[in-house]
Amino acid sequence: MVEKAREDMRKNNQQPEQQEKDMKQGTQPGDEVSKEGLAERLEATEAELKACQEKVLRLAAELENFKKRIEREKAEHMKFALEAFAKELLPFLDNLERAVSSAKETKDIDSLIEGLELTLSGYLKTLERFGLKTFAAVGQRFDPSYHEALTVEESQDVEENTVVKELLKGYTLHDRVLRPALVVVSKKPSKDSGQKETNA
CA dist 188 and 161 (Å) reads 9
Residue 195's pLDDT is: 43
Regarding whether 90 and 125 lie in a shared domain, the answer is yes
Instruction: State how beta strands 147-154 and 181-187 pair.
Output: parallel
Residue 197's pLDDT is: 39
Decide if 92 is inside a domain. Answer: yes
What is the residue range of 161's domain?
132-191
Residue 163 burial class via C-beta count within 10 angstroms: exposed 0-12, middle 13-18, buried 19 and up: buried
CA dist 89 and 123 (Å) reads 7
Decide if 105 is inside a domain. Answer: yes
Decide if 143 is inside a domain. Answer: yes
Regarding whether 185 and 152 lie in a shared domain, the answer is yes
Q: For residue 148, give the H/E element and its range.
A: strand 147-154
Of the two residues 198 and 111, the one the predictor is more confident about is 111
Per-residue DSSP letter, 143: -
Residue 146's pLDDT is: 96
pTM of the model: 0.56
Regarding whether 175 and 126 lie in a shared domain, the answer is no
CA dist 74 and 191 (Å) reads 61
Regarding whether 137 and 122 lie in a shared domain, the answer is no
Per-residue DSSP letter, 157: S
Regarding whether 139 and 152 lie in a shared domain, the answer is yes
Encode pLDDT of 73-126 as tens digits: 888 887 787 888 888 889 988 988 888 888 778 777 888 888 889 899 999 999
In the chain, the number of structural domains is: 2
Regarding whether 100 and 122 lie in a shared domain, the answer is yes
Does the pLDDT value for residue 27 go beyond 60?
no
Decide if 17 is inside a domain. Answer: no
Per-residue DSSP letter, 162: B
Q: Which residues pair with 148 in a beta bridge?
A: 182
Does the pLDDT value for residue 149 go beyond 90?
yes
Regarding whether 137 and 124 lie in a shared domain, the answer is no
Distances (CA, A) of 96 to 108, 117, 128: 15, 10, 20
Decide if 7 is inside a domain. Answer: no
Decide if 51 is inside a domain. Answer: no
- Nearest partner of 156 among 184, 183, 186, judged by Cα: 186
Residue 199's pLDDT is: 39
Decide if 67 is inside a domain. Answer: no
Regarding whether 139 and 111 lie in a shared domain, the answer is no
Q: Which of 2-6, 27-31, 147-151 has the lowest average pLDDT?
A: 27-31
The number of residues making up the chain comes to 200
Decide if 107 is inside a domain. Answer: yes
Last residue of a domain, one of 114, 130, 146: 130
